[in-house]
A and B are shown apart, each in its own frame.
Chain A
Amino acid sequence: MQVNEYKPLIVAFCCNWCSYAGADLAGNNRLAYPADVKIIRVPCSCRVNPMFILRAFQRGADGVIICGCHPGDCHYTSGNYYTRRRMAALFSMLDYLGIEKERTRVEWVSAAEGAKFAATMNDFAKTVASLGENKRLEDLRCKK
Protein backbone atom coordinates (compact mmCIF):
# COMPACT_ATOMS: atom_id res chain seq x y z
CA MET A 1 0.00 0.00 0.00
CA GLN A 2 1.27 3.40 -0.85
CA VAL A 3 1.28 5.97 1.87
CA ASN A 4 1.00 9.53 0.69
CA GLU A 5 3.07 11.47 3.13
CA TYR A 6 1.54 14.87 3.80
CA LYS A 7 3.75 17.64 2.50
CA PRO A 8 3.08 21.09 3.85
CA LEU A 9 3.46 24.07 1.57
CA ILE A 10 5.49 26.82 3.14
CA VAL A 11 6.06 30.31 1.87
CA ALA A 12 9.11 32.10 3.23
CA PHE A 13 9.43 35.84 2.70
CA CYS A 14 13.12 36.69 3.00
CA CYS A 15 14.65 40.13 3.06
CA ASN A 16 17.20 40.67 0.36
CA TRP A 17 20.04 41.77 2.60
CA CYS A 18 20.16 39.29 5.45
CA SER A 19 17.82 36.35 5.27
CA TYR A 20 17.90 35.79 1.53
CA ALA A 21 21.68 35.87 1.80
CA GLY A 22 21.41 33.52 4.77
CA ALA A 23 19.42 31.14 2.60
CA ASP A 24 22.09 31.42 -0.07
CA LEU A 25 24.70 30.60 2.54
CA ALA A 26 22.72 27.56 3.62
CA GLY A 27 22.89 26.56 -0.04
CA ASN A 28 26.62 27.22 -0.27
CA ASN A 29 27.13 24.99 2.74
CA ARG A 30 24.73 22.36 1.34
CA LEU A 31 22.59 22.47 4.48
CA ALA A 32 19.42 20.64 3.56
CA TYR A 33 15.90 21.72 4.41
CA PRO A 34 12.58 20.56 2.99
CA ALA A 35 11.78 21.48 -0.60
CA ASP A 36 8.33 22.44 0.66
CA VAL A 37 9.84 25.77 1.63
CA LYS A 38 9.63 28.26 -1.22
CA ILE A 39 11.34 31.59 -0.83
CA ILE A 40 10.06 34.94 -2.07
CA ARG A 41 12.61 37.71 -2.11
CA VAL A 42 11.56 41.09 -0.76
CA PRO A 43 13.77 44.11 -0.24
CA CYS A 44 13.06 44.20 3.48
CA SER A 45 10.87 42.23 5.83
CA CYS A 46 8.84 45.42 6.21
CA ARG A 47 7.71 44.99 2.60
CA VAL A 48 5.58 42.03 3.67
CA ASN A 49 1.99 43.13 3.69
CA PRO A 50 -0.43 41.14 5.86
CA MET A 51 -2.41 40.74 2.66
CA PHE A 52 0.44 38.67 1.18
CA ILE A 53 0.31 36.33 4.15
CA LEU A 54 -3.44 35.85 3.95
CA ARG A 55 -3.13 35.46 0.20
CA ALA A 56 -0.65 32.63 0.68
CA PHE A 57 -2.99 30.84 3.07
CA GLN A 58 -5.88 31.40 0.70
CA ARG A 59 -3.98 29.85 -2.17
CA GLY A 60 -3.11 26.80 -0.17
CA ALA A 61 -0.04 27.55 1.89
CA ASP A 62 0.09 25.70 5.18
CA GLY A 63 2.64 27.94 6.81
CA VAL A 64 4.12 31.38 6.23
CA ILE A 65 7.42 32.52 7.68
CA ILE A 66 8.96 35.95 7.43
CA CYS A 67 12.71 36.30 7.76
CA GLY A 68 14.55 39.54 8.16
CA CYS A 69 17.74 41.03 9.50
CA HIS A 70 18.20 40.91 13.24
CA PRO A 71 16.69 43.93 14.99
CA GLY A 72 19.23 46.68 14.83
CA ASP A 73 20.88 45.28 11.69
CA CYS A 74 18.25 46.26 9.18
CA HIS A 75 19.76 47.42 5.91
CA TYR A 76 17.21 50.20 6.00
CA THR A 77 17.88 50.80 9.71
CA SER A 78 14.32 50.38 10.96
CA GLY A 79 12.32 48.22 8.58
CA ASN A 80 12.38 45.10 10.71
CA TYR A 81 11.23 47.04 13.76
CA TYR A 82 8.03 47.82 11.88
CA THR A 83 7.81 44.19 10.78
CA ARG A 84 8.08 43.18 14.39
CA ARG A 85 5.16 45.33 15.46
CA ARG A 86 3.01 44.58 12.47
CA MET A 87 3.46 40.85 12.68
CA ALA A 88 3.05 40.75 16.44
CA ALA A 89 -0.30 42.46 15.98
CA LEU A 90 -1.34 40.36 13.00
CA PHE A 91 -0.31 37.01 14.49
CA SER A 92 -2.09 37.82 17.70
CA MET A 93 -5.21 38.63 15.70
CA LEU A 94 -5.01 35.39 13.72
CA ASP A 95 -4.66 33.51 16.99
CA TYR A 96 -7.66 35.41 18.32
CA LEU A 97 -9.68 34.17 15.37
CA GLY A 98 -8.67 30.65 16.27
CA ILE A 99 -6.19 30.16 13.46
CA GLU A 100 -3.33 27.94 14.55
CA LYS A 101 -0.60 30.24 15.73
CA GLU A 102 2.11 27.77 14.75
CA ARG A 103 1.40 28.43 11.07
CA THR A 104 2.97 31.86 11.14
CA ARG A 105 6.41 32.83 12.33
CA VAL A 106 8.93 35.63 12.19
CA GLU A 107 12.58 34.71 12.44
CA TRP A 108 15.63 36.95 12.26
CA VAL A 109 18.34 35.37 10.12
CA SER A 110 21.51 37.20 9.24
CA ALA A 111 23.54 36.71 6.10
CA ALA A 112 26.02 34.73 8.17
CA GLU A 113 23.44 32.40 9.62
CA GLY A 114 23.11 29.79 6.89
CA ALA A 115 22.92 27.11 9.54
CA LYS A 116 20.23 28.99 11.41
CA PHE A 117 18.28 29.41 8.20
CA ALA A 118 18.30 25.69 7.46
CA ALA A 119 17.55 24.78 11.07
CA THR A 120 14.68 27.29 11.20
CA MET A 121 13.17 25.96 8.01
CA ASN A 122 13.53 22.35 9.15
CA ASP A 123 11.88 23.17 12.43
CA PHE A 124 9.11 25.26 10.91
CA ALA A 125 8.34 22.64 8.26
CA LYS A 126 8.15 20.01 10.95
CA THR A 127 5.84 22.13 13.09
CA VAL A 128 3.57 22.93 10.18
CA ALA A 129 3.54 19.31 9.03
CA SER A 130 2.41 18.24 12.48
CA LEU A 131 -0.56 20.62 12.23
CA GLY A 132 -1.71 19.09 8.99
CA GLU A 133 -3.41 20.94 6.20
CA ASN A 134 -4.47 24.54 6.66
CA LYS A 135 -8.23 24.33 6.94
CA ARG A 136 -9.05 27.46 8.85
CA LEU A 137 -7.79 29.94 6.30
CA GLU A 138 -8.37 27.96 3.15
CA ASP A 139 -10.35 29.04 0.16
CA LEU A 140 -11.98 25.99 -1.40
CA ARG A 141 -12.23 27.74 -4.74
CA CYS A 142 -8.46 27.52 -4.98
CA LYS A 143 -8.53 23.77 -4.48
CA LYS A 144 -11.02 23.01 -7.22
Chain B
Amino acid sequence: MRKCSLDKINLIFAEIAKNAELYLPVDQNDGSAAYKKWEEGTAWSNKLNTVKSPKDFFFPQTEDLMQFKTQGKNIEIVDTRSALQDFVIFGVRACDVKSFDILDRVFLSEPVDSFYASRRKHGVIISLACTRPSETCFCKTFDIDPANPTGDISAWKTESEIFFAANTEKGAALLDKLSSLTEECDDAAVLEQKEKINAIMDKLPLKNLTTDAFGGGKTNELFNAPEWDELSSACLGCGTCTFVCPTCQCYDIKDFNTGNGVVRFRCWDSCMYSDFTKMAHGNNRLTQKERFRQRFMHKLVYYPENNDGLFSCVGCGRCLAKCPISMNIVKVMKKIGGKKDE
Protein backbone atom coordinates (compact mmCIF):
# COMPACT_ATOMS: atom_id res chain seq x y z
CA MET B 1 0.00 0.00 0.00
CA ARG B 2 1.25 3.44 -0.91
CA LYS B 3 0.12 6.82 0.22
CA CYS B 4 0.54 10.44 -0.60
CA SER B 5 -0.54 13.71 0.90
CA LEU B 6 -3.64 15.23 -0.63
CA ASP B 7 -1.61 18.39 -1.16
CA LYS B 8 0.27 16.54 -3.83
CA ILE B 9 -2.76 15.12 -5.57
CA ASN B 10 -2.33 17.44 -8.53
CA LEU B 11 1.21 16.18 -9.00
CA ILE B 12 -0.20 12.65 -9.10
CA PHE B 13 -2.73 13.73 -11.69
CA ALA B 14 -0.04 15.44 -13.74
CA GLU B 15 2.11 12.34 -13.61
CA ILE B 16 -0.72 10.09 -14.76
CA ALA B 17 -1.68 12.52 -17.50
CA LYS B 18 1.81 12.35 -18.94
CA ASN B 19 1.21 8.92 -20.41
CA ALA B 20 -2.52 8.63 -20.60
CA GLU B 21 -5.66 10.68 -20.73
CA LEU B 22 -6.87 11.12 -17.19
CA TYR B 23 -10.56 11.51 -16.39
CA LEU B 24 -11.94 12.35 -12.98
CA PRO B 25 -15.09 13.78 -11.41
CA VAL B 26 -15.18 17.56 -11.74
CA ASP B 27 -17.76 19.98 -10.41
CA GLN B 28 -19.97 21.50 -13.07
CA ASN B 29 -21.59 24.89 -12.87
CA ASP B 30 -25.01 23.39 -12.14
CA GLY B 31 -23.71 21.94 -8.86
CA SER B 32 -23.39 18.38 -10.04
CA ALA B 33 -20.26 16.47 -10.94
CA ALA B 34 -19.23 14.85 -14.19
CA TYR B 35 -16.18 13.00 -15.45
CA LYS B 36 -13.95 15.44 -17.31
CA LYS B 37 -10.53 15.16 -18.82
CA TRP B 38 -7.91 16.44 -16.42
CA GLU B 39 -5.84 19.40 -17.50
CA GLU B 40 -3.56 21.56 -15.42
CA GLY B 41 -5.84 23.44 -13.07
CA THR B 42 -8.74 21.00 -13.15
CA ALA B 43 -10.11 20.53 -9.63
CA TRP B 44 -11.20 17.13 -8.39
CA SER B 45 -14.76 17.11 -7.18
CA ASN B 46 -15.70 16.30 -3.62
CA LYS B 47 -19.08 14.98 -4.65
CA LEU B 48 -20.12 11.49 -3.76
CA ASN B 49 -20.71 10.61 -7.38
CA THR B 50 -21.34 11.87 -10.89
CA VAL B 51 -24.78 12.18 -12.48
CA LYS B 52 -23.78 10.08 -15.44
CA SER B 53 -21.99 6.89 -14.58
CA PRO B 54 -18.52 6.15 -15.94
CA LYS B 55 -19.89 3.44 -18.22
CA ASP B 56 -19.57 6.10 -20.92
CA PHE B 57 -15.83 5.39 -21.06
CA PHE B 58 -16.32 1.85 -22.29
CA PHE B 59 -19.76 2.08 -23.76
CA PRO B 60 -20.23 5.66 -24.95
CA GLN B 61 -23.71 7.05 -25.38
CA THR B 62 -23.05 7.54 -29.08
CA GLU B 63 -20.42 5.65 -30.99
CA ASP B 64 -19.83 5.50 -34.74
CA LEU B 65 -19.49 1.96 -36.00
CA MET B 66 -18.73 2.60 -39.63
CA GLN B 67 -19.49 4.87 -42.48
CA PHE B 68 -20.78 4.34 -45.98
CA LYS B 69 -19.69 6.99 -48.43
CA THR B 70 -21.75 7.36 -51.52
CA GLN B 71 -20.79 8.96 -54.76
CA GLY B 72 -23.63 8.69 -57.21
CA LYS B 73 -24.49 5.03 -57.13
CA ASN B 74 -21.16 3.88 -55.69
CA ILE B 75 -20.84 2.98 -52.04
CA GLU B 76 -17.56 2.81 -50.17
CA ILE B 77 -17.37 1.38 -46.65
CA VAL B 78 -15.14 3.31 -44.29
CA ASP B 79 -13.84 2.05 -40.97
CA THR B 80 -14.34 4.97 -38.65
CA ARG B 81 -12.42 3.56 -35.69
CA SER B 82 -9.38 5.52 -34.73
CA ALA B 83 -6.50 4.16 -32.66
CA LEU B 84 -7.36 4.38 -28.97
CA GLN B 85 -5.05 5.97 -26.47
CA ASP B 86 -4.57 4.59 -22.97
CA PHE B 87 -6.74 6.34 -20.44
CA VAL B 88 -7.18 6.36 -16.69
CA ILE B 89 -10.44 6.91 -14.83
CA PHE B 90 -9.85 8.21 -11.39
CA GLY B 91 -12.22 8.22 -8.45
CA VAL B 92 -14.64 5.48 -9.50
CA ARG B 93 -16.85 4.39 -6.62
CA ALA B 94 -17.20 0.75 -5.65
CA CYS B 95 -20.67 0.50 -7.14
CA ASP B 96 -19.56 1.87 -10.49
CA VAL B 97 -16.51 -0.38 -10.57
CA LYS B 98 -18.83 -3.31 -10.06
CA SER B 99 -20.96 -2.14 -12.95
CA PHE B 100 -18.06 -2.82 -15.30
CA ASP B 101 -18.20 -6.49 -14.37
CA ILE B 102 -21.85 -6.52 -15.25
CA LEU B 103 -21.18 -4.83 -18.59
CA ASP B 104 -18.23 -7.16 -19.26
CA ARG B 105 -20.48 -10.18 -19.06
CA VAL B 106 -22.58 -8.78 -21.82
CA PHE B 107 -20.02 -7.24 -24.10
CA LEU B 108 -17.06 -9.56 -23.60
CA SER B 109 -18.89 -12.85 -23.91
CA GLU B 110 -18.99 -14.35 -27.38
CA PRO B 111 -19.41 -12.70 -29.76
CA VAL B 112 -17.06 -10.16 -28.20
CA ASP B 113 -17.97 -6.55 -28.79
CA SER B 114 -14.67 -5.33 -30.21
CA PHE B 115 -15.47 -1.67 -29.63
CA TYR B 116 -16.10 -2.29 -25.95
CA ALA B 117 -13.22 -4.72 -25.59
CA SER B 118 -10.74 -2.31 -27.05
CA ARG B 119 -11.82 0.44 -24.70
CA ARG B 120 -11.63 -1.91 -21.73
CA LYS B 121 -8.12 -2.87 -22.77
CA HIS B 122 -6.96 0.73 -22.88
CA GLY B 123 -8.65 1.85 -19.68
CA VAL B 124 -7.19 1.77 -16.18
CA ILE B 125 -9.60 2.21 -13.29
CA ILE B 126 -8.58 3.85 -10.06
CA SER B 127 -11.44 3.33 -7.68
CA LEU B 128 -12.15 5.30 -4.55
CA ALA B 129 -13.67 4.17 -1.29
CA CYS B 130 -16.70 6.13 -0.18
CA THR B 131 -16.50 8.40 2.82
CA ARG B 132 -19.93 9.93 2.95
CA PRO B 133 -22.52 7.63 1.37
CA SER B 134 -25.90 9.05 0.61
CA GLU B 135 -29.29 7.99 1.85
CA THR B 136 -29.93 6.69 -1.66
CA CYS B 137 -27.06 4.21 -1.49
CA PHE B 138 -27.87 0.50 -1.29
CA CYS B 139 -24.79 -1.16 -2.73
CA LYS B 140 -24.65 -3.48 0.25
CA THR B 141 -27.81 -5.12 -1.05
CA PHE B 142 -25.70 -6.37 -3.94
CA ASP B 143 -22.73 -7.35 -1.79
CA ILE B 144 -20.67 -4.40 -2.81
CA ASP B 145 -18.40 -2.98 -0.15
CA PRO B 146 -17.96 0.74 -0.57
CA ALA B 147 -14.98 0.56 1.79
CA ASN B 148 -13.25 -1.94 -0.47
CA PRO B 149 -13.67 -0.80 -4.03
CA THR B 150 -12.03 -2.96 -6.66
CA GLY B 151 -10.62 -1.77 -9.99
CA ASP B 152 -7.03 -1.76 -11.18
CA ILE B 153 -6.04 0.40 -8.25
CA SER B 154 -8.10 0.96 -5.09
CA ALA B 155 -7.86 4.25 -3.30
CA TRP B 156 -8.93 5.54 0.10
CA LYS B 157 -9.14 9.14 1.04
CA THR B 158 -8.71 10.46 4.55
CA GLU B 159 -8.71 14.05 5.75
CA SER B 160 -5.19 14.71 4.56
CA GLU B 161 -3.95 11.68 2.68
CA ILE B 162 -4.82 9.33 -0.11
CA PHE B 163 -3.88 5.65 -0.09
CA PHE B 164 -3.42 3.39 -3.09
CA ALA B 165 -3.31 -0.38 -3.50
CA ALA B 166 -2.87 -2.04 -6.87
CA ASN B 167 -5.14 -4.96 -7.67
CA THR B 168 -4.06 -5.83 -11.17
CA GLU B 169 -0.96 -5.78 -13.31
CA LYS B 170 -2.20 -2.72 -15.11
CA GLY B 171 -2.72 -1.08 -11.77
CA ALA B 172 0.62 -2.10 -10.42
CA ALA B 173 2.35 -0.72 -13.48
CA LEU B 174 0.61 2.60 -13.09
CA LEU B 175 1.27 2.75 -9.37
CA ASP B 176 4.95 2.09 -10.12
CA LYS B 177 5.07 5.18 -12.23
CA LEU B 178 3.79 7.17 -9.27
CA SER B 179 6.43 5.81 -6.92
CA SER B 180 8.35 9.05 -6.74
CA LEU B 181 5.24 10.85 -5.52
CA THR B 182 3.99 8.21 -3.10
CA GLU B 183 5.48 6.38 -0.17
CA GLU B 184 5.02 2.85 1.09
CA CYS B 185 2.85 2.58 4.18
CA ASP B 186 0.88 0.11 6.29
CA ASP B 187 -2.88 -0.21 6.10
CA ALA B 188 -3.71 1.05 9.60
CA ALA B 189 -5.19 4.33 8.39
CA VAL B 190 -7.13 2.55 5.70
CA LEU B 191 -8.53 0.05 8.17
CA GLU B 192 -9.64 2.89 10.37
CA GLN B 193 -11.26 4.51 7.38
CA LYS B 194 -13.04 1.25 6.55
CA GLU B 195 -14.38 1.05 10.07
CA LYS B 196 -15.83 4.49 9.77
CA ILE B 197 -17.51 3.67 6.49
CA ASN B 198 -18.93 0.44 7.84
CA ALA B 199 -20.36 2.31 10.79
CA ILE B 200 -22.17 4.67 8.44
CA MET B 201 -23.33 1.84 6.23
CA ASP B 202 -25.15 0.40 9.20
CA LYS B 203 -27.11 3.60 9.57
CA LEU B 204 -28.23 3.90 5.94
CA PRO B 205 -31.99 3.87 5.55
CA LEU B 206 -31.91 1.24 2.80
CA LYS B 207 -29.57 -1.07 4.65
CA ASN B 208 -32.16 -3.81 5.01
CA LEU B 209 -33.14 -3.99 1.40
CA THR B 210 -32.69 -7.55 0.22
CA THR B 211 -32.74 -9.41 -3.05
CA ASP B 212 -34.29 -12.48 -1.47
CA ALA B 213 -37.40 -12.34 -3.55
CA PHE B 214 -35.45 -12.04 -6.80
CA GLY B 215 -32.95 -13.89 -8.88
CA GLY B 216 -32.96 -16.48 -11.63
CA GLY B 217 -35.98 -18.69 -11.88
CA LYS B 218 -38.41 -16.15 -10.48
CA THR B 219 -39.93 -15.20 -13.79
CA ASN B 220 -43.18 -17.06 -13.42
CA GLU B 221 -43.62 -15.97 -9.87
CA LEU B 222 -43.07 -12.28 -10.45
CA PHE B 223 -44.05 -11.61 -14.04
CA ASN B 224 -47.75 -11.36 -13.40
CA ALA B 225 -47.54 -9.72 -10.00
CA PRO B 226 -50.45 -7.27 -9.72
CA GLU B 227 -48.18 -4.61 -8.22
CA TRP B 228 -46.66 -3.81 -11.62
CA ASP B 229 -49.79 -1.84 -12.52
CA GLU B 230 -49.49 0.51 -9.62
CA LEU B 231 -45.72 0.79 -9.78
CA SER B 232 -45.71 1.71 -13.44
CA SER B 233 -48.77 3.90 -13.25
CA ALA B 234 -46.92 7.21 -13.02
CA CYS B 235 -43.99 6.27 -15.26
CA LEU B 236 -43.51 8.94 -17.92
CA GLY B 237 -41.59 6.61 -20.19
CA CYS B 238 -38.53 8.82 -20.28
CA GLY B 239 -35.06 7.34 -20.29
CA THR B 240 -33.58 9.06 -17.27
CA CYS B 241 -33.19 5.93 -15.14
CA THR B 242 -31.62 4.01 -18.00
CA PHE B 243 -29.25 6.76 -19.00
CA VAL B 244 -27.93 7.47 -15.52
CA CYS B 245 -27.76 3.75 -14.74
CA PRO B 246 -24.26 2.28 -14.71
CA THR B 247 -25.46 -1.17 -15.72
CA CYS B 248 -28.04 -0.52 -18.43
CA GLN B 249 -26.43 -1.73 -21.58
CA CYS B 250 -29.06 -1.61 -24.30
CA TYR B 251 -28.30 0.22 -27.47
CA ASP B 252 -29.85 0.91 -30.83
CA ILE B 253 -27.99 0.86 -34.09
CA LYS B 254 -29.02 3.66 -36.37
CA ASP B 255 -28.02 5.13 -39.68
CA PHE B 256 -27.53 8.82 -40.04
CA ASN B 257 -27.79 10.14 -43.57
CA THR B 258 -25.07 12.73 -43.94
CA GLY B 259 -25.99 13.68 -47.46
CA ASN B 260 -22.77 12.12 -48.69
CA GLY B 261 -23.46 8.74 -47.31
CA VAL B 262 -24.47 7.13 -44.09
CA VAL B 263 -22.85 7.02 -40.68
CA ARG B 264 -23.86 3.87 -38.89
CA PHE B 265 -23.69 4.43 -35.18
CA ARG B 266 -24.99 2.97 -32.02
CA CYS B 267 -26.47 4.89 -29.16
CA TRP B 268 -27.94 4.05 -25.82
CA ASP B 269 -31.50 2.95 -25.98
CA SER B 270 -33.97 2.67 -23.19
CA CYS B 271 -36.39 -0.16 -22.60
CA MET B 272 -38.68 2.55 -21.23
CA TYR B 273 -39.08 3.99 -24.75
CA SER B 274 -42.12 3.09 -26.76
CA ASP B 275 -40.08 2.17 -29.82
CA PHE B 276 -37.58 0.00 -27.95
CA THR B 277 -36.84 -3.15 -29.94
CA LYS B 278 -39.53 -2.22 -32.38
CA MET B 279 -39.61 -4.70 -35.19
CA ALA B 280 -41.32 -5.04 -38.51
CA HIS B 281 -44.35 -6.53 -36.86
CA GLY B 282 -44.47 -3.70 -34.32
CA ASN B 283 -43.61 -3.54 -30.66
CA ASN B 284 -43.26 -6.55 -28.49
CA ARG B 285 -44.02 -4.56 -25.34
CA LEU B 286 -47.14 -2.61 -25.94
CA THR B 287 -47.73 -0.67 -22.78
CA GLN B 288 -45.63 1.33 -20.39
CA LYS B 289 -46.34 -1.26 -17.74
CA GLU B 290 -44.73 -3.96 -19.83
CA ARG B 291 -41.76 -1.74 -20.59
CA PHE B 292 -41.40 -0.78 -16.96
CA ARG B 293 -41.60 -4.37 -15.87
CA GLN B 294 -39.02 -5.37 -18.44
CA ARG B 295 -36.45 -3.01 -16.99
CA PHE B 296 -36.74 -4.35 -13.48
CA MET B 297 -37.31 -7.98 -14.38
CA HIS B 298 -34.17 -7.77 -16.47
CA LYS B 299 -32.08 -6.36 -13.66
CA LEU B 300 -33.47 -8.60 -10.95
CA VAL B 301 -34.46 -11.83 -12.65
CA TYR B 302 -33.40 -12.33 -16.26
CA TYR B 303 -29.85 -11.08 -15.90
CA PRO B 304 -29.08 -13.13 -12.77
CA GLU B 305 -30.63 -16.12 -14.48
CA ASN B 306 -28.10 -15.88 -17.27
CA ASN B 307 -25.18 -14.69 -15.18
CA ASP B 308 -24.70 -17.00 -12.24
CA GLY B 309 -27.02 -15.08 -9.97
CA LEU B 310 -25.34 -11.73 -10.47
CA PHE B 311 -27.87 -8.91 -10.29
CA SER B 312 -27.73 -6.15 -12.85
CA CYS B 313 -27.93 -3.39 -10.27
CA VAL B 314 -25.14 -2.00 -8.13
CA GLY B 315 -27.20 0.13 -5.77
CA CYS B 316 -25.59 3.40 -6.78
CA GLY B 317 -28.85 5.27 -6.16
CA ARG B 318 -28.73 7.40 -9.29
CA CYS B 319 -32.22 6.42 -10.39
CA LEU B 320 -33.52 7.25 -6.91
CA ALA B 321 -32.13 10.71 -7.20
CA LYS B 322 -33.03 11.45 -10.79
CA CYS B 323 -36.36 9.85 -11.69
CA PRO B 324 -38.76 12.71 -12.47
CA ILE B 325 -41.54 10.93 -10.64
CA SER B 326 -39.45 9.23 -7.97
CA MET B 327 -40.21 5.71 -9.00
CA ASN B 328 -37.22 3.41 -8.78
CA ILE B 329 -35.79 -0.01 -8.25
CA VAL B 330 -35.94 0.24 -4.46
CA LYS B 331 -39.67 0.82 -4.52
CA VAL B 332 -40.04 -2.03 -6.96
CA MET B 333 -37.98 -4.40 -4.82
CA LYS B 334 -39.91 -3.53 -1.70
CA LYS B 335 -43.32 -3.74 -3.32
CA ILE B 336 -42.77 -6.80 -5.44
CA GLY B 337 -40.54 -8.43 -2.88
CA GLY B 338 -43.16 -7.75 -0.24
CA LYS B 339 -40.54 -6.52 2.15
CA LYS B 340 -41.67 -3.02 2.80
CA ASP B 341 -40.02 -2.40 6.14
CA GLU B 342 -42.19 -0.47 8.49
Contacts and interface: CB of A to CB of B under 8 A. Distances in A.
In the complex they form, whether A and B have CB atoms below 8 Å apart is answered with yes
Interface of A: 59-60, 139, 141-142, 144
B77 to A, nearest CB: 13
B272 to A, nearest CB: 25
The interface centre, meaning the residue of B67, B258, B260, B263 with most chain A CB atoms within 10 A of its CB, is B258
Contacts of B263: 141, 144
A139 B62 CA distance: 14
Interface string B51-80: 000000000000000010000000000000
B66 to A, nearest CB: 12
B84 to A, nearest CB: 19
A141 B69 CA distance: 12
A139 B265 CA distance: 15
Contacts of A59: 259
Contacts of A139: 258
A142 B67 contact: no
Nearest to A142: B258
A59 to B, nearest CB: 5
Interface string B309-327: 0000000000000000000
13 contacts: A59-B259, A60-B259, A139-B258, A141-B256, A141-B258, A141-B263, A142-B258, A142-B259, A142-B260, A144-B67, A144-B258, A144-B260, A144-B263
Nearest to A140: B258
A106 B207 CA distance: 62
B259 to A, nearest CB: 5
Contacts of A144: 67, 258, 260, 263
Nearest to B78: A144
Contacts of B259: 59-60, 142
A144 B66 CA distance: 12
A59 B256 CA distance: 12
The interface centre, meaning the residue of A59, A139, A141, A142 with most chain B CB atoms within 10 A of its CB, is A141
A118 B260 CA distance: 30
A30 B89 CA distance: 64
B315 to A, nearest CB: 37
Given A141-B258, A142-B260, 9 more contacts: A59-B259, A60-B259, A139-B258, A141-B256, A142-B258, A144-B67, A144-B258, A144-B260, A144-B263
Nearest to A60: B259
Nearest to A59: B259
Nearest 10 pairs of A and B residues by beta carbon: A142-B258, A141-B258, A59-B259, A141-B263, A142-B259, A141-B256, A144-B258, A144-B67, A144-B263, A144-B260
B279 to A, nearest CB: 27
A144 B67 CA distance: 9
B174 to A, nearest CB: 33
A141 B258 CA distance: 6
A112 B193 CA distance: 84
A138 to B, nearest CB: 12
A144 B256 CA distance: 12
Interface string B192-209: 000000000000000000
Nearest to B258: A142
A60 B258 CA distance: 10
Contacts of A142: 258-260
Contacts of A60: 259
A142 B259 CA distance: 6
Contacts of A141: 256, 258, 263
A142 B70 CA distance: 12
A60 B67 CA distance: 19
A37 B64 CA distance: 33
Contacts of B260: 142, 144
A139 B256 CA distance: 11
A46 to B, nearest CB: 26
Contacts of B256: 141
A104 B44 CA distance: 42
Interface string B249-274: 00000001011100100000000000
A64 to B, nearest CB: 16
Nearest to B265: A141
A139 B258 CA distance: 9
